[in-house]
Chains A and B, each alone.
Chain A
Amino acid sequence: MKQSRTVVVGIVLVTMLLLAAGPSAVFAGGAGERAAVSTGPVELVYNNFSAGETNAKVLNDMLDLFRQKYPNIKVTNDAMGYGDAYWTQLTTRIAGGNAPDAFEVNMENFIPYVTRDVMLPLDEYYAAAGAKSGIYSKAVLDACTYQGKLYAVPQSFSTVVMIYNKNLFDRAGIAYPTENWKWADAVAAGQKITALGEDIWGTFNPIQFWEFYKVVQQNGGSLLSADRKHFTINSPQNLETLQYMVDRIRKYKVMPDKVAQADRTESDLFVEGRLAMWLNGVWSFSELQKRAPADLRWGAEVEPGNTAKATHFFANVAAVSRTAKHPKEAFTLLHFLASDPQVVALRLKAQWELPTVSDPKLVETYINATPPDNKKSVFRSLEYVVRPPALKQFNELANLVTTKLEAARDGTLSPKEALDQAQAEAERTIKLE
């Protein structure tokens, strides 16, 4: 009996030891000094997603440059890919009170996060660094502003262009797209290319929320009224737009429906030479360069509009958490990663989206690196950018509209029904301030 008691006590002790070995230490930093960047040891955690694995090495090189300049600041690079897992982890950490010192959000999530009061206003740090004007272009600073205050540092931006397969255009005997193309031109070219053979398609434009809020503006419509007081999802122009988007699949047959697409990704179709025109962001250039076979010639052009042109503009911005212990150092990190000349050169060399600094010389370097051909279209697109609706409940709106749009795409709802239902549900569930 004594023997077993010893064993039991032993087990209890081991368990207690396990428990005691756990508690994580809070960052041992000094009190944040406002005057200058701290010279004592500082530890920062930076959560980000836009490097992913493709540009992970580039980001690490950038952080090495930062370490050389500020050897006392140790940065933990918590990088993840863009996806649900990133947002789950970020939201959980912030909600649990363990927010990283600096974290990256994309433009659409800027409003939902800033309105929940988790970002630190950065105006004083911008002023101290002399960065309020003259360094970043106005468009990207706008993406970091809320109610007149700056809450983030813009890290990179991308535009969405129409990528096209030159080989297919040559085979069909038609001229390459130009900046003056309208919807009708794209459909006509698409039909000639789809006629080239079985399972060859003229175009692919996704039918989902991000596409929709932009394409409606190519036709003079919009999701919100001009005063942003009510939704205009089912306006007559929007109905015309959705009808056009669906007609591309059903009437003109230049775009595959779900059955014809058979779960193949657009990227697969494009690298196989089965897709002529593909609307995608400049972030996909590096991936396509790795995947496309050597004989595939491809170019880019500003996407066609109808009564007007509208193109996408996406920015990734990085904010400092309200609970950061070293806000000044965190801002210094983000400002360095966005604007230091050597860092910008690294980004351009890797073709990792576009830097947010407004230096015309940099544009030359970017444009001259092909494929794809005609890269100046990336910057021409900037003339026509539209921003996503800035809403606290952005994600909810995106989900409900996408559900209805997909029903219209698959034929279970008519375009009119889809938009009417989306309008009703938006009015019911989304609060407009």
Chain B
Amino acid sequence: MRKVLGKVLFYAFISIVAFLVIVPFLWMIGTSFKAREATYTIPIRWIPERPSLEAYQAIFSLTNVNFLRATANSFFLSFIMTVFPLLSSAMAAYAFAKIEFRAKRILFPLFLATMMIPAAVLMVPNYVLLNTLGLLNTYTGLLLPSLCSAFAIFFIRQFMMSVDNAYSEAALMDGASWLRIFFSVMMPLTRPALMTMGLFNFMGAWNNFMWPLVVLYNRDKWTLQLALGNMGNQFGNFNHYLMAGALVSLVPIVIVYLVSQKYVEQGLAIGGLKA
């Protein structure tokens, strides 16, 4: 009896919390369908008086920036900023975790130390560097600083250290090269860590605003966040446009999160070892 009561209370509680969290999103969806009316009202108007797609039509027909193009740019950049750092960090993590070399004791703390520097501090030197190299207003310049990540190295290394050496030793005895061991044995085994870091990288890359703002001048190269931010400046009172834009930018990231969540929850492949 007590157990049932406990369960009911627990579910009631988390339902209330979940509802409170969802409420702003519900308002956002409702507002994005409003048209010629006040968006902030008392009492709150959840369902628009005259629902219309005006906001969505407006954001896809902006003159100053092509919203679809900005979305495509964001996808392209986020993809590269997810895959590249993962690859380079995983390789470095493998070296730090499994390979013995003399400089390891010095190099690894050095790598970790770079994590202490906040991104805002790095922005100015990076900008000056790009300017000298003539890489401003290019995607190369935008991507360069994010191509490797000390945090990812640290995270994946921890995971790799928990993978039994027996796997790689077995592969070595079968005549595999280091690279073969890395791609065929270690990567699949560290998939949960890779998926988690991939998700972080994607979210960071998708939401990045400040760095693209100072690096990219051409409207054609703009990312989705820049387009949204610019809309925010111009359409201050047209909240339905802003909500529509925000919703559109939310959809991809929710999809990515849902997809990778499956992998992150996947258990470790511990089985297969002979005692």
Contacts and interface: CB of A to CB of B under 8 A. Distances in A.
B178 A96 contact: no
Interface stretch (A52-60, A177-185, A204-212, A309-317): A52-60
A22 B131 contact: no
A60 B219 CA distance: 14
Given A22-B138, A262-B42, A272-B41, A53 B62 contact: yes
Interface in B176-192: 177-180
B7 interface: no
Interface string B251-269: 0000000000000000000
Contact of B217 (A4, A84, A88, A93): A93
Nearest to B222: A80
A53 B64 contact: yes
B135 A293 contact: no
Interface in A252-288: 262-265, 267-269, 271-272, 287
Contacts of B64: 51-53, 56, 79-81
B134 A96 contact: no
Contact of A23 (B134, B213, B217): B134
Contacts of A199: 42
B235 interface: yes
A57 B234 CA distance: 14
Contacts of A83: 229-230, 232-234
B41 A268 contact: yes
B36 interface: yes
Contacts of A28: none
B78 to A, nearest CB: 17
B136 to A, nearest CB: 6
Nearest to B135: A22
Contacts of A268: 38-41, 237
A53 B40 contact: no
Contacts of A84: 233
B22 interface: no
Contacts of B62: 53, 56
Nearest to B63: A56
B198 interface: no
B235 A53 contact: yes
B208 interface: no
A21 B143 CA distance: 13
Contacts of A36: none
B134 A81 contact: no
A60 B214 contact: no
A383 interface: no
A264 B42 contact: yes
Interface residues of B, number: 41
B150 interface: no
B40 A96 contact: no
Nearest to B144: A19
Contacts of A52: 64, 233-234
Contacts of B79: none
Contacts of A79: 64
Contacts of B47: none
A265 B237 contact: yes
A245 B131 CA distance: 49
Interface string A64-103: 0000000000001011111111101100110011100000
B213 A262 contact: no
A52 B141 CA distance: 28
Interface in B109-143: 127-128, 131, 133-138, 140-141
B164 interface: no
Contacts of A93: 217
Nearest to A291: B36
Given A24-B138, A89-B214, A81 B233 contact: yes
Q: Which of B41, B138, B218 has the most CB of A within 10 A?
A: B41
Contacts of B136: 24, 96, 98
Interface of A: 1, 3-4, 7, 18-19, 21-24, 45, 51-54, 56-57, 60, 76, 78-86, 88-89, 92-93, 96-98, 199, 262-265, 267-269, 271-272, 287, 290-293
Given A53-B234, A81-B230, A97-B131, 4 more contacts: A22-B134, A96-B128, A199-B42, A271-B38
18 contacts: A22-B134, A22-B140, A22-B141, A23-B133, A52-B234, A53-B62, A56-B64, A79-B64, A80-B230, A82-B233, A83-B230, A85-B230, A93-B217, A263-B40, A264-B42, A265-B40, A271-B36, A291-B237
